[in-house]
Amino acid sequence: MPAPLVNIQGLNIFFKTTEVLSNFNLQIQAGEIVSVVGESGSGKSISALMSMGLLSSKAAVNSTCAEVLGRSVLHLSVADWQTLRGKEIAMIFQDPMTALHPSIRIGKQLEEVLETHTSLSGKQRKIKVLKALEGVSILQPEISVNKYPHEMSGGQRQRVVIAMAMLLEPKLIIADEPTTALDKEVEATVLELLSKLVKEKGCALWFISHDLEVVSEFSDRVLVLYKGKTVEQGSAKEVFNTPKHPYTKGLLACRPPKNGRPYPLPVLSDFLEGEGTLKASELAAPKVNTKALYVEGLNIGYKVRKGWKTSIKWVVRDLDLQLNVGETLGLIGPSGSGKSSVGRAVVDLVPATFSIRNFEGNEGRVQFIFQDPSSALNRSHTIGRILDQVLSQHAPEFTPLGRKDKASALLQEVGLHPSDLAKKPKDFSGGQRQRIGIARALAADPTVLICDESVSALDVSVQAQVLNLLNGIKKNRGLSMIFISHDPNVVRYMCDRIQRLD
């Protein structure tokens, strides 16, 4: 058997006295797809960063063997890495905004990769870039090459990053949660593309995910990590169909079911602590049809320049939308269909026109929960200050002490502790930051919540907790909700009625 492209044995990684990865073993042969699965903090990305020479210098590393493409990655120079990265090894990151330069057009960024590593002419580079964008289902690539990252949806940006990684057909692709922000149709296309590249070009794919269902039909082998330790491994079908470890069983059970709407959903503690799942009831649509929000004739567009001419590219045309009291309305559609733009337009976060927009009450009581809580929360402010600012505006009758008490109550309502008021966003996990985003929205005492992909970037276990939280809050407060997502299973579970955008 030929030498594996990835050969890691007995790998241990520490940050100060904290062991984040323990006795990790991984081998990947050419033409093989191996997935490493686990929650955030399980250590699944740390070994990949080490294998790309991107691990923090503060980390302490020891291993029996740590070889990639036959070379020890612990002893490569900066010059060696510059030669390997992109051409021999490529990494697809989860957050495309950290991988793309915000002030350089998409086409230029892809061309720079080819200019650095190939001798192609300018014309040849442009043709290859257009073909790469077309290969990841970017519509009208000849227009998209002239866009800046902020002019594309999250899913479109992720596809650009995938196209960039695949440009040079590297021997090893490390994909860190590359499909989290993609709708199911595009996710299937991207996974098929990656799989085809592996089989046809003989490269290897190291795929990192929190979702066992995504990797089950896609991978040759799967490793499941929990708190830095490998708790289960085997063929993808074996691990998916007959999981043995309680953690693996929990990861599979936390996803919204394909049938029924049980509330609450199972969470990991039900399996790890042997508590047993709570008795579930079925979510049901409200019986009343009183309007909470009504929009008619919604139009959203943006200007597109081509040479000296400017035209309008319409995202949404003449859309009607009605949300009833106590109802959860789902907006679903492929990336770029305008579903997030619709939610933002309702609360004037993007320019739009309406024939009618009726909030059936106070406009300020429609609140928005963003997809990425890290960018939605001011990193320099404490949580107490973030909540106090909202309460000062929407509850001016409260004294400073009253606002602090209310902020404490809000944190408790979303499953956090009053002592967290003194902390900053960086002190929390992604799921906890999303809870803070929900608490901030609740501080305005809303009647309508608009959730824009608010669970799409979360681990399936944390996603279940947040979905349970949203349903509990909706029930206790009598809220109405617009729920925007690219995941049909989550939308079907959460929503009483669904409106599709194409």
Domain that holds residue 448: 328-340+362-500
Please count the other Cβ atoms lying within 10 Å of the Cβ belonging to residue 220: 16
Residue 407 within a domain: yes
Quote the pLDDT of residue 362.
66
Please count the other Cβ atoms lying within 10 Å of the Cβ belonging to residue 475: 12
- H or E segment and range at residue 48: helix 46-51
List, as one string, the DSSP characters of 210-247: S-HHHHHTT-SEEEEEETTEEEEEEEHHHHHHS--SHH
- CA–CA separation, 462 and 192 (whole Å): 27
Residue 438 within a domain: yes
- CA–CA separation, 81 and 88 (whole Å): 10
Residue 476 within a domain: yes
Residue 194 within a domain: no
CB 50 within 8 A of CB 72: no
The separation between CA 354 and the C-alpha centre of its own chain, rounded to angstroms, equals: 31
Residue type, 48: A
Backbone angles phi, psi at 236, to 5 degrees: -60, -45
- CA–CA separation, 5 and 406 (whole Å): 56
Residue type, 50: M
Quote the pLDDT of residue 36.
97
Residue type, 393: Q
- CA–CA separation, 365 and 357 (whole Å): 14
The separation between CA 431 and the C-alpha centre of its own chain, rounded to angstroms, equals: 11
Quote the pLDDT of residue 41.
84
- H or E segment and range at residue 294: strand 291-306
Which three-class secondary structure state does DSSP give residue 199?
A: helix
Which three-class secondary structure state does DSSP give residue 344?
A: helix
CATH number at residue 470: 3.40.50.300
> Which residue's entry shows tokens 């002239």?
146
Residue 223 within a domain: no
- Peptide bond preceding 264 in cis form (omega within 30 of 0): yes
Per-residue confidence in pLDDT tens, the chain, 502 aa: 789 999 999 999 999 989 999 999 999 999 999 999 998 889 999 999 999 999 998 999 999 999 999 999 998 999 999 889 988 999 998 777 778 999 999 999 999 999 998 999 999 999 999 999 998 889 899 999 999 998 887 778 888 998 999 899 899 999 998 887 777 877 888 888 889 889 888 899 999 998 888 899 889 999 999 999 999 999 999 999 999 999 999 999 999 998 999 999 999 988 988 766 667 899 999 988 899 999 999 999 988 777 788 888 899 999 999 999 999 999 998 877 899 999 999 999 999 999 888 887 666 789 999 988 878 899 999 999 999 999 999 999 999 999 999 999 999 999 999 999 999 999 998 889 999 999 999 999 999 999 999 998 788 889 999 999 999 999 999 999 999 998 899 999 999 999 999 8
Residue 259 within a domain: no
Residue 492 within a domain: yes
Task: Specify the number of domains making up the chain.
Answer: 1
Residue 395 within a domain: yes
CB 82 within 8 A of CB 54: no
85 exposed, middle or buried (CB, 10 Å; 0-12, 13-18, 19+)? middle
Kindly report the pTM of this predicted structure: 0.86
The single-letter DSSP state of residue 421 is G
CB 96 within 8 A of CB 158: yes
For the record, the structure tokens of 431 come out as 């799921």
